[in-house]
């Protein structure tokens, strides 16, 4: 059994493979990882721009200015201002080169074509310089960025329409268990509704992995071997849930071994997720997650998510970890293994939620973080600082 740190190190070590890249349209870019730097082809803003509705002025001797014209947003007209001249101007409009400042309209007094400026003027006030946000030819977003909605807005504003991104891996989610039936049917005694695939498909979708195939296997050694062998041949990443533990009908480990998967580790000293398996066959990575839904989701966030991010070349593959004061006293149960506890950051700290059982998903509905407790933790005092991993999205 290896430590969490070692397991994570091994997962990341085996995830970089010089992934293929492709060009996509920017509007489809959400959650893709940039395969090259994106440079701006324009200055932004492209011209000196007014940040206010008001008056552009060339600073004169008195606070009285003569209004010589008007420039609306979108106009391409300009004016030559002499000292003491003003131009009526609106937010987003081009400021004439001869204007020194823009005074907001709330701070002027208008009489006919004369305005009296009632607040101190400073050179360049309320003028956004050309290229203030970004200069033509410089990097707007570096390679390795995971594209979010704000990036799409930013790049669209620079006139960019396509991106070079890492291709996403093809992913199979394989569920195992004779007890599993599909929701929508009557529930016979002894069976449960299969829910891991729906949970993992939805989680993967949140990170932009939309083409995920779900495959089901019964607890039978022969079919487990056969189905896993073809799945591994056809996908870049295979995520199996259930059947990875030590029960008589847990065939996943044995089957993977028999079909020539290199076991990188099997079993991690952690709670939940002790039976976690990770292996590789040629370029395909295989994760064996525990069948218990909350354990499977925890292992997904802690191991599979960083693997996928690194696979695509993301700059920051780890879950963001911060230090937080604990909001209450907590007695650790089963402290012989390091633990990930479903938790909620709120107010000035983090609270560990109830219903921590691996079989119960309810706490994940409220959680926005996992508190990490190292091995041999016992009593935690209110206010004690704990390592807190933020759940992505």
Pick from 285, 176, 257, 190: nearest CA to 223: 176
How are beta strands 64-71 and 85-89 bridged, if at all?
Answer: parallel
d(CA 21, CA 229): 27
User: DSSP character for 146?
Assistant: B
Binding residue for ligand AMP (CB under 6 A) from 146, 224, 231, 245? Answer: 245
Contact between 242 and Mg ion by CB under 5 A: the answer reads: yes
Closer CB to ligand AMP, 195 or 213, in the complex: 195
Pick from 286, 270, 187, 182: nearest CA to 233: 286
Give the CB-nearest residue to ligand AMP: 291
DSSP string, 60-106: -SSSEEEEEEEE-TT------PPTTEEEEE-TTPBPPTT--EEEEGG
Binding residue for ligand AMP (CB under 6 A) from 54, 293, 306, 313? Answer: 293
Cβ atoms within 10 Å, residue 242: 27
The alpha helices in 73-214, defined as continuous H runs, are: 149-157, 196-206
DSSP string, 305-334: HHHHHHHTT-S--SPPEEEEEBSS-EE-SS
Binding mask 201-220 for ligand AMP (x = CB under 6 A): --------------------
Binding residue for Mg ion (CB under 5 A) from 54, 96, 243, 279? Answer: 243
Closer CB to Mg ion, 177 or 313, in the complex: 177
Partner whose footprint covers residue 45, from Mg ion, ligand AMP, none (CB < 5 to 8 Å by kind): none
Contact between 290 and Mg ion by CB under 5 A: the answer reads: no
The two tokens of residue 382 are 């209110």
Q: Could you tell me the smallest distance in angstroms from the CB atom of residue 248 to ligand AMP? A: 11
Stretch that binds ligand AMP, among 231-239, 258-266, 290-298, 332-340 (CB under 6 A): 290-298
Contact between 177 and Mg ion by CB under 5 A: the answer reads: yes
Q: Could you tell me the smallest distance in angstroms from the CB atom of residue 240 to ligand AMP? A: 10
For the chain, the residue count is 393
Stretch that binds ligand AMP, among 25-33, 258-266, 291-299, 380-388 (CB under 6 A): 291-299
Partner whose footprint covers residue 292, from Mg ion, ligand AMP, none (CB < 5 to 8 Å by kind): ligand AMP
Residues that bind Mg ion (CB under 5 A): 177, 242-243, 291
Binding site for ligand AMP (CB under 6 A): 175, 177, 179-180, 192, 194-196, 241-243, 245, 247, 250, 290-293
């Amino acid at each position: 059994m290896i430590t969490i740190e070692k397991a994570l190190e091994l997962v990341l070590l085996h995830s970089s493979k010089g992934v293929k890249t492709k060009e996509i349209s920017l509007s489809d870019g959400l959650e893709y990882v940039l395969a090259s730097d994106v440079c701006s082809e324009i200055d932004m803003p492209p011209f000196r721009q007014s940040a206010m509705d008001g008056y552009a002025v060339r600073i004169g001797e008195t606070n009285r200015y003569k209004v010589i014209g008007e420039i609306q947003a979108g106009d391409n007209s300009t004016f030559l201002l002499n000292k003491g001249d003003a131009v009526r101007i609106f937010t987003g409009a081009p400021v004439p080169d001869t204007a020194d400042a823009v005074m907001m309209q709330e701070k002027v007094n208008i009489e006919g074509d004369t305005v009296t400026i009632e607040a101190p003027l400073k050179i360049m006030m309320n003028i956004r310089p050309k290229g203030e946000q970004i200069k033509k030819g410089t990097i707007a977003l570096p390679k390795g960025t995971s594209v979010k909605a704000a990036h799409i807005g930013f790049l669209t504003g620079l006139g960019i329409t396509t991106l070079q991104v890492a291709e996403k891996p093809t992913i199979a989610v394989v569920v195992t268990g004779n007890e599993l039936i599909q929701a929508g049917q009557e529930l016979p005694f002894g069976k449960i509704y299969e829910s891991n695939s729906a949970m993992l498909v939805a989680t993967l979708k949140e990170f932009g992995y939309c083409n995920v195939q779900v495959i089901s296997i019964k607890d039978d050694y022969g079919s487990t071997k056969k189905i896993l062998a073809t799945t591994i041949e056809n996908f870049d990443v295979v995520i199996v849930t259930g059947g990875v533990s030590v029960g008589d009908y847990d065939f996943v480990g044995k089957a993977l071994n028999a079909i020539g998967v290199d076991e990188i580790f099997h079993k991690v000293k952690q709670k939940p997720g002790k039976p976690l398996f990770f292996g590789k066959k040629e370029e395909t990575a295989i994760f064996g997650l525990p069948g218990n839904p909350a354990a499977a989701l925890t292992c997904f966030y802690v191991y599979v998510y960083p693997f996928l991010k690194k696979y695509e070349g993301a700059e920051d593959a780890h879950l963001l970890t911060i230090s937080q004061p604990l909001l209450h006293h907590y007695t650790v149960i089963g402290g012989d293994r390091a633990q990930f506890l479903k938790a909620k950051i709120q107010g000035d700290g983090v609270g560990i939620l109830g219903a921590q059982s691996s079989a119960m998903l309810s706490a994940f509905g409220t959680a926005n973080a996992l508190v990490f407790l190292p091995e041999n933790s016992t009593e935690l005092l209110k206010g004690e600082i704990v390592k807190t991993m933020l759940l992505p999205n």
